[in-house]
A = this chain, B = another copy of it.
Amino acid sequence: MEEFASLSGISRPTLSKYFHDPESVRHTTRDRIEKALEEHDYQPNIYAMNQNRRTTNHIGIVVPFLADPFFAEIARNLEQRCIAAGFSPILFSSHGAPDLEVNILDSLRSQKPAGVLMAPLGRASDKAHIERFSRDIPTVLFDSSIGGLGAAFVGMDNGQSMRMLVDYLCDTGTAPQFFEMETAVNPNVNRRRNAYLAAMEARGEPASIVKIEGDGWDFEEIGRRGGHAAFDAGQFKSGTILCSNDRLAIGLLSAAFQRGLRVGRGEGADIRVAGHDDHPFSKFTCPALTTVSQDYDRISGKSLDILLGLMDSDDRLSQRQEVLFDGILIKRESA
C-alpha cells in the first residue's frame, strides 16, 4: 500500500480511507485513485485490513441443509440482498449435523462478522451455544424459531397457514389427515400439527394424524416409504392428506404413483395431497402440488432489514422482535 501510495501520488491514510469507503474521499481524488488502480492492479490485504477492526463487513448466512432446495433458494436470495446492501455474505450449511452447527458459529465468531442470519437446525441445535453467540454478535434467526432465542426471529405464521389449508381442503372435499414424521426435526412441524388440530377442532371435524418412521433430512425417501407403509396399513381413510412439508409430500406422491393411485381433486381421483412451503419443485410434481407459499422474498428481506437495524443499535437485546408472515395458498392439481 505504501508502494502504491507513492506510485499513485496519494498518501497512504487517504488510500486507507478510500478502501474503507470510496465515498468518503473527494470525487477528484477518488478518480485519481481509481485510475491508478487500473494501472497497477493493487488490492489491499484483507487480513491486515480486518485485524484491527472490531467488526468486518461480512454477514454470515447459516442454513441447516443446503442440499434442500428450499434453503438453497433462501440462501441465494439472502446472498444477493447482502451484496446489494454493501456487505459480503459468507454461506454455511450445517448439513443437518448439530456439532457442525456449533463449529460454524465458533468459526464465524472469530471472523468478527457484522451480523449473522441463521436458520437453526431446530430440535437438535445447541440452544445455549446459539444464545451465547447471539449475545455477542447481532443475529437474526429465521425459518425455525427455538424458544425465544436470539435477538429477532423472522418466519411464517404456521397457525394461519394451516388454518387456511384445512379450511380449503374441508371446503372442497373430505377433511384432511395430517402426515408427519415421527420425530419432528424442527419446531415448525410441531406448530403445524398443533395448528392442524386446532383448525380441525374449530370446524368440528375429527382430527387424524399419520406418523411415519424415519430420521434425518432425507424427507422424500422417508415420505415415500412411510406413504407405502401407511397405504398398506389402510391409514388414509379420509382420502385427503395434508403433509407437514412439501418434501414429504413429494415422497408421498411418488408412493401413490407407484401404487397406481390417481392424485388430484378432479373426477376419478383416489386421494388428494397437499404440502407446505411451496418448495421449488412442487410446481413440477405430477400432479403439481397444492401448498402454502412461504414468501421467500419477504422473509429474507425482512430478516436483513432487522439485522441491519440490530447492527446499528447497541441495545440489541432490549426487546426481541418477532415477525411472522402469512402464507399464501397455492392451488394446484394435487388437492
Q: Which residue of B lies closest to A88 (CB)?
A: B107
Does B93 lie within 8 Å of A76, measured CB to CB? yes
Does B286 lie within 8 Å of A111, measured CB to CB? no
A169-185 interface with B by 8 A CB criterion: none
Does A95 lie within 8 Å of B80, measured CB to CB? yes
Contacts of A330 in B (CB 8 A): none
Contacts of A283 in B (CB 8 A): 220-221, 254
A81-119 interface with B by 8 A CB criterion: 88, 90-93, 95, 106-107, 109-112
- In the assembled complex, the CB of A76 is this many whole angstroms from the nearest CB of chain B, namely 5
Q: Which of A45-53, A122-130, A135-143, A145-153 contacts B (4 or more CB under 8 A)?
A: A45-53
Pick from B66, B250, B251, B254: contact of A76, CB below 8 A: B66
List the number of copies, as a whole number: 2
Instruction: Pick the most buried of A47, A72, A90, A110: most chain B CB atoms within 10 A of its CB.
Output: A47
Instruction: Pick the most buried of A80, A109, A253, A280: most chain B CB atoms within 10 A of its CB.
Output: A280
- Against B, the Cβ 8 Å flags (1 = close, 0 = not) of A262-293 are 00000000000000000011011111100000
Cα–Cα distance between A59 and B57 once the two chains are bound (Å): 21
- Given A67-B73, A69-B72: A110 and B284 within 8 A (CB)? no
- Against B, the Cβ 8 Å flags (1 = close, 0 = not) of A8-45 are 00000000000000000000000000000000000111
Contacts of A287 in B (CB 8 A): 257
Does B93 lie within 8 Å of A284, measured CB to CB? no
Contacts of A67 in B (CB 8 A): 69, 72-73, 76, 280
Does A250 lie within 8 Å of B284, measured CB to CB? yes
Contacts of A68 in B (CB 8 A): 72
Does B95 lie within 8 Å of A76, measured CB to CB? yes
- In the assembled complex, the CB of A49 is this many whole angstroms from the nearest CB of chain B, namely 8
* A side interface size, CB within 8 A: 47
Tell me, yes or no, whether A228 is within 8 Å of chain B by CB: no
Instruction: Pick the most buried of A49, A68, A111, A284: most chain B CB atoms within 10 A of its CB.
Output: A284
Pick from B46, B51, B107, B221: contact of A110, CB below 8 A: B46
- Given A72-B66, A224-B284, A286-B253: A90 and B90 within 8 A (CB)? yes
Does B51 lie within 8 Å of A47, measured CB to CB? yes
Tell me, yes or no, whether A75 is within 8 Å of chain B by CB: yes
Contacts of A109 in B (CB 8 A): 43
- In the assembled complex, the CB of A121 is this many whole angstroms from the nearest CB of chain B, namely 15
Contacts of A284 in B (CB 8 A): 220, 224, 250-251, 253-254
Cα–Cα distance between A24 and B257 once the two chains are bound (Å): 59
- In the assembled complex, the CB of A14 is this many whole angstroms from the nearest CB of chain B, namely 21
Chain A contact residues, CB within 8 Å of chain B: 43-51, 66-69, 72-73, 75-76, 79-80, 88, 90-93, 95, 106-107, 109-112, 220-221, 224, 250-251, 253-254, 257, 280-281, 283-288
Listed by A's residue number, 29 A-B pairs whose Cβ atoms lie within 8 Å are: A43-B110, A45-B51, A45-B110, A46-B47, A46-B111, A47-B49, A66-B66, A67-B72, A67-B76, A67-B280, A68-B72, A69-B72, A79-B93, A79-B95, A80-B95, A88-B107, A90-B90, A91-B91, A91-B92, A220-B284, A224-B284, A250-B281, A253-B284, A254-B283, A254-B284, A254-B285, A254-B286, A254-B288, A286-B286
